[in-house]
A and B are shown apart, each in its own frame.
Chain A
């Protein structure tokens, strides 16, 4: 009996040790490369800011200044409620005290400066594709904004999702740490569109179906899925009959500029906020996104944009 208990304890210790090792934030290698050379380009950082849709979650809710990044937006997900943190350059409550390296690592590896995992409600699963240069420039742009005092509430998550360390396992399985690599066989604008859609734009995060583990199901990537923030269905954005088949490049550029669809409808729900971001991009960037979406393999989805 005693031997059995000892064995059990040893096993438990091994299990706990294994869990601890496997969930270490140090296992995510993204963002650990040498710092990008040269001085930061703030204007490029501004484009990255709008391409990344940072304001949609981090701008202080219920006010009009989208560059006031006090956080506090409540993101209601099937796993619980997340509150977007303060992203303003406030030295105590925001990211004013961060180093450039810490910021790049947060964006691409989902690890905080003090070495904790971020929840993937912060879409680093997509952001990991961005170049270190864009991440650096984005940081430089955010540093030019006004510091906002105050912190967002803590996330409201039930067990086991409140065990942050457990995210390490999820990240081992679903975070590959690969930066976007352009396809030399494709045009520059298609590559730019692919980069923006897959990386900063994180379009797939909402426009895809997910598995029971909460990762994107590859066969449903961009084919639409249930709204991760509540009721309804996010449309299929592949060029399938249930998606964007009838849309032209111009139609997609239009919806990303004014929010108006080819039928004269306007996009609603969270896409309204996305359009406020994409409307700030240079026109060729929206055209690139359109070109990339129309180049995707058509997949059947439940419903496309109207």
Chain B
């Protein structure tokens, strides 16, 4: 019985690892593209190119929160190169530091979650939250080749 449980647990761990690692580069690129699309919507509202919509503003923060939560899990050691990755080797030099960026961002997103009702509030929240993009990309993304 004990052995069966152990085998079962091992299988489960193995299976979830396979799911997360089947194509981590493609997965994380999809997440980042989603963040980009949300940011585009936000930029358009902030610049007055489209009308402000509180529901859209909430959705942007939801996309950000989901990305902050899980993106870091798609950088296993096996995904340093390959595909169209622009991940910097620095990610694997200090995984804890890398993870912390997402955790800090998650906290900021949570703190801003009430600032989606009016355009003025959202402008401030959006401006602050998107600062994390560049700050992280500066260190952890290489220039596109």
Which residues of chain A have a CB within 8 Å of any CB of chain B?
A: 227, 230-235, 250, 254, 258-260, 262-270, 272-273, 275, 303, 306
Task: Please give me the residue from chain A that is nearest to B43 by CB atom.
Answer: A260
Interface string of B111-145 (1 = CB under 8 A from A): 00000000000000001001001110110111111
When distances are taken between beta carbons in the complex, the residues of chain B under 8 Å from A265 are 36, 39, 133
Indicate whether A264 sits within 8 Å of B143 (C-beta atoms), given known contacts A250-B47, A259-B133: no
- Interface contact B40-A263, CB-CB below 8 Å: yes
Residue from A254, A260, A272, A306 in contact with B144 in the complex, judged by beta carbons closer than 8 Å: A306
Specify the main secondary structure of chain A where it touches its partner.
loop
Indicate whether A258 sits within 8 Å of B143 (C-beta atoms), given known contacts A264-B35, A264-B43: no
Task: Please give me the residue from chain B that is nearest to A234 by CB atom.
Answer: B143
When distances are taken between beta carbons in the complex, the residues of chain A under 8 Å from B144 are 232-233, 235, 303, 306
Interface string of B37-61 (1 = CB under 8 A from A): 1111111000101000000000000
- Interface contact A264-B36, CB-CB below 8 Å: yes
- Interface contact B39-A264, CB-CB below 8 Å: yes
When distances are taken between beta carbons in the complex, the residues of chain A under 8 Å from B38 are 264
- B:53-73 near A, CB below 8 Å: none
Nearest-Cβ distance from residue B4 to partner chain A, whole angstroms: 49
When distances are taken between beta carbons in the complex, the residues of chain B under 8 Å from A264 are 35-43
Sort A-B residue pairs by CB-CB distance and give the 10 closest, nearest first: A232-B143, A268-B137, A264-B40, A266-B133, A264-B39, A272-B138, A264-B36, A259-B134, A268-B141, A269-B143
In the docked arrangement, what's the CA distance between A234 and B130, Å? Answer: 22
When distances are taken between beta carbons in the complex, the residues of chain A under 8 Å from B86 are 232, 268
In the docked arrangement, what's the CA distance between A265 and B39, Å? Answer: 7
When distances are taken between beta carbons in the complex, the residues of chain A under 8 Å from B37 are 263-264
Which residues of chain B have a CB within 8 Å of any CB of chain A?
A: 35-43, 47, 49, 86, 127, 130, 133-135, 137-138, 140-145
When distances are taken between beta carbons in the complex, the residues of chain A under 8 Å from B127 are 258
Nearest-Cβ distance from residue A225 to partner chain B, whole angstroms: 11
- Interface contact A272-B134, CB-CB below 8 Å: yes
- Interface contact A254-B135, CB-CB below 8 Å: no
- Most A-side CB within 10 Å, residue of B39, B42, B47, B143: B143
- Interface contact A232-B40, CB-CB below 8 Å: no
Nearest-Cβ distance from residue B139 to partner chain A, whole angstroms: 8
In the docked arrangement, what's the CA distance between A299 and B71, Å? Answer: 37
- Most A-side CB within 10 Å, residue of B38, B86, B133, B140: B133
Nearest-Cβ distance from residue B89 to partner chain A, whole angstroms: 10
When distances are taken between beta carbons in the complex, the residues of chain B under 8 Å from A268 are 86, 134, 137-138, 140-143
Task: Please give me the residue from chain B that is nearest to A253 by CB atom.
Answer: B47
Residue from B39, B138, B140, B143 in contact with A260 in the complex, judged by beta carbons closer than 8 Å: B39
Indicate whether A266 sits within 8 Å of B134 (C-beta atoms), given known contacts A231-B143, A233-B143, A254-B47: yes
- Interface contact B36-A231, CB-CB below 8 Å: no
When distances are taken between beta carbons in the complex, the residues of chain B under 8 Å from A266 are 39, 130, 133-134, 137
In the docked arrangement, what's the CA distance between A262 and B40, Å? Answer: 6
Nearest-Cβ distance from residue A247 to partner chain B, whole angstroms: 13
In the docked arrangement, what's the CA distance between A262 and B86, Å? Answer: 19
In the docked arrangement, what's the CA distance between A306 and B84, Å? Answer: 13
Task: Please give me the residue from chain B that is nearest to A229 by CB atom.
Answer: B143
Task: Please give me the residue from chain B that is nearest to A231 by CB atom.
Answer: B142
In the docked arrangement, what's the CA distance between A51 and B45, Å? Answer: 28
- Interface contact A258-B138, CB-CB below 8 Å: no
Task: Please give me the residue from chain A that is nearest to B89 by CB atom.
Answer: A231
Nearest-Cβ distance from residue A285 to partner chain B, whole angstroms: 18
- Interface contact B142-A232, CB-CB below 8 Å: yes
When distances are taken between beta carbons in the complex, the residues of chain A under 8 Å from B137 are 266-269, 272
Indicate whether A232 sits within 8 Å of B138 (C-beta atoms), given known contacts A254-B43, A258-B127, A260-B133: no
Question: Can you list 22 pairs linking A and B with CB atoms under 8 Å apart?
Answer: A232-B143, A232-B144, A232-B145, A233-B144, A258-B43, A263-B36, A263-B40, A264-B35, A264-B36, A264-B37, A264-B42, A265-B36, A266-B39, A266-B134, A267-B134, A268-B137, A268-B138, A268-B141, A270-B138, A270-B143, A273-B138, A306-B144
Task: Please give me the residue from chain B that is nearest to A306 by CB atom.
Answer: B144
In the docked arrangement, what's the CA distance between A230 and B145, Å? Answer: 11
